Amino acid sequence: MNLETIFLIIYFIAMIAIGVWAMRRGTQDSEGFLLGGRSLGPAVTALRLQSSSMSGYMFLGAGSLGYTQGYFGMWYAMGDIGGGVLNLSILGRRMRKLSQILGSLTSIEYLEHRYPSRWTRLIAAPIALFCIFFYVMSQFIAGGRGLEMVTGVPYVWALAIAIGVIVAYTFLGGYLAVAYTDFVQAIIMVIGMLWILIATLMAVGGLTAGNTAVAEINPNLLSMWGPDGIAGVQWGVIIGALLVFSIGYMGWPHVNVSHMAMKNPSVARRAGLYATVYNLLFIPAPYLIGVLALIIVPNLADPELAIFEVADIVLPAFAVGIVMAAIMAAIMSTADALLLQSGTIASYDLFRRFINPRMTDRQSVWVSRITVLLLAIIGYVVAIVGAPAVAQVVIFSTTVLGAAFVPAYVCAAWWKKANTVGAISSMIVGTVVVVVWQFSGLVDVTGIDPMGVGILASTLAMIIGSLVTQRTSPVPAHVHEALVETDRVGPIPARLLTGQNPALGGQVPGTHGSADRA
């Protein structure tokens, strides 16, 4: 057994141990399992949000973009660097406060409570579940490939091991396990990525020498216009690149649940600072490593393995295991969040809401766990039968999620006239436009990325749908009162801590936590 494998085994055991700890701390009620009891502070909130949004894409897709497109990939990095502080600043405090006033325990339930109609959840839940499944499948594939390369274990078994570890601690500890493992994994990710970057710069003789060598391959790779230069630039694609990881992930349900799990609304301010510092350290590195990999591993058959291959060459043997743990951390920190969100949507947002409303908290938790297992098995089979490119799956899935849900989440917190008709129209239009744009070839014809078109279309649908139907579908009085309260800084009044309106789904109203400071 090599040193790299030993490090990975230790890492896997540590993650499962966190899951056991979280289970013993108490996660059998819905709020504990789904939101960690709304108990998380700024550091855990920030790093959990960032690590769950970055995924194995940063070690595979980002490196691949750098390797094939040069510094063009930095457009994606620029969008991602500001994404965390944008998300926390725009949604964090208000979503935390509003979700508690409305008694929401999931990010999809939150949409139904803000836009009261069973159709809100019936439309939102399947869209989210479909996209999240393909997103999590891409993480499984990335994990299997990484383990295969490091340990020499065949892909079939490496994939099974990666999925097994992720499922184990997610199954045991719920959101609390996901949050704390993501926090640890985020730290491992940034240490590992910076280690690879520093070793890579040393291997090529520094950034200036590295850029000079890349220029000999293709000078256009040193610009942000791509290998064909400015003449081949598609500005629509650049706009989409900036949007997908900045504004786009304000529409990702598995990320937005981080806001709802904060200890109190004021956590969002410090969390935004932590997220920005973390992003500045971490995000540019994989794109830069991908560019410099052209020198270290030229003519690479699979560009998605650029960072793996570079790490194996430039790092000493004892460090490779630690860095490979960082790569697995990036993959697992997103996969666990996606799996938990999938289980939540299936059990709480669909089964409990529409099939068995009398289901107890304990039963709901177990339905969520069973769903996690089933999705893991299905994902494993699909990944074995025909594994697609990780970057393509990630970008498409997240684009649909962004276009479908960004206006719904942003307007939920900020626009008092946003109503049910506008929200439903927005989700449907955003999803349809992205899918049609992607698969009809309009991206190539127009040079415009689906994200930009999708968010524009869904935003217009939200505005038009809401304004046209203000009289026939007004915002309910209790929702309007809750929105007014989110404008205030201070504790939530006791009279508003009544939980969910009984008319929305038959739950018994009750408080989900104390009156927290804003």
The confidence score (pLDDT) of residue 472 equals 94
Question: Percent of the chain at pLDDT above 90?
Answer: 34
**Reduced to 3 states, what is the DSSP secondary structure of residue 255?**
helix
Identify the helix (H) or strand (E) that includes residue 289. helix 284-296
Contact 427, 273 (CB under 8 A): no
2 vs 254 pLDDT, higher one: 254
Q: Is the pLDDT of residue 251 over 60?
A: yes
d(Cα 220, Cα 214) in Å, to the nearest integer?
9
Note the pLDDT of residue 443: 78
Residue 26 pLDDT > 90, yes or no? no
Residues 345-368 pLDDT 10s:
888 888 888 888 888 777 877 888
**pLDDT digit string (tens) for 259-273?**
999 998 889 999 999
Residues 6+ apart with CB under 8 A from 394: 55, 57, 61, 135, 138
pLDDT in tens, 53-62: 776 678 777 8
Backbone angles phi, psi at 61, to 5 degrees: -65, -45
Q: Mean pLDDT highest for which of 73-82, 194-203, 242-251, 308-317?
A: 194-203
Query: CA-CA distance, 261 to 410, in Å (whole number)?
Result: 18
| pLDDT at residue 518 tops 60 | no
Report whether 462 contacts 426 (CB < 8 A). yes
Contact predicate 209/305, CB 8 Å? no
Phi, psi of 180 (to 5 degrees): -75, -35
DSSP code, position 507: P
Model confidence at 410, pLDDT cuts 50, 70, 90, reads very high
Of 490 and 118, the one with more pLDDT: 118
d(CA 469, CA 334): 38
Fold of 3-389: Sodium/glucose cotransporter (1.20.1730)
Structure tokens at 300: 């690479």
* Sign for the pseudo-dihedral over CA of 446, 449, 454, 456: negative
Q: What is the mean pLDDT of the chain?
A: 83
- Bigger pLDDT: 279 vs 9: 279
Task: Give the residue-averaged pLDDT of 388-416.
Answer: 85
The larger pLDDT score, comparing residue 359 to residue 23, is at 359
Joined together, the tokens standing for residue 306 give 């650029």
